Chain A
């Protein structure tokens, strides 16, 4: 079956632009996670959904970051007024059990 997919795979934004990153989880997976991975670092937790409910958003770095999962499947991570420090790979993961997470390929965001 299909794994987790993310789009776009690469995004270049000018500083100040808004961006939207999409995640299609594995069908039927209740849990969905977003992570930010800076170069040379491990993934850093941003937020967690169980179905459509956002249960933990403690990792979102500022109020410019917003995530939603309105129908409990596809999720979108939106970054408003992008800054250079937002440049990173954004990873999405889904899970049926909340133990093993299945990761997508990531979206590499470069802010110029």
Chain B
């Protein structure tokens, strides 16, 4: 079984500042890892994913996440945030050995202030 912990429920940050949203997971098998984003009044959408290969993955809008197997973490970072990045971010995990059950964290609300 897998579980996901998002350590911060809310992260307020000023525009153009860097941000890190933390995610730790536990699993007895190898995993696939995901970050989903939910903008206000919109549905969840995939931001980035780690399946295999390079441990650093990037999104098209400047976010990146690094898979750290020894620390069982998949933290999300952006060097300079915009007002438009204000949203709820969910970390998710799925085991890679059969099964399709995806476990989501409780979410981190990123609030970017001008």
Contact = CB atoms under 8 A, between A and B. Distances in A.
Interface stretch (A13-21, A52-60, A65-73, A77-85): A52-60
Interface stretch (B54-62, B70-78, B94-102): B94-102
Contacts, number: 55
B101 A99 contact: no
A106 B90 CA distance: 16
Nearest to B102: A45
Given A59-B101, A105-B43, A42 B107 contact: yes
Interface of B: 4, 6, 32, 36, 42-46, 49, 51, 90, 92, 99-107
**4 closest pairs, A vs B, by CB?**
A42-B104, A103-B44, A103-B43, A43-B104
Interface of A: 3-4, 31, 33, 35, 40-45, 48, 50, 55-56, 58-59, 91, 93, 98-106
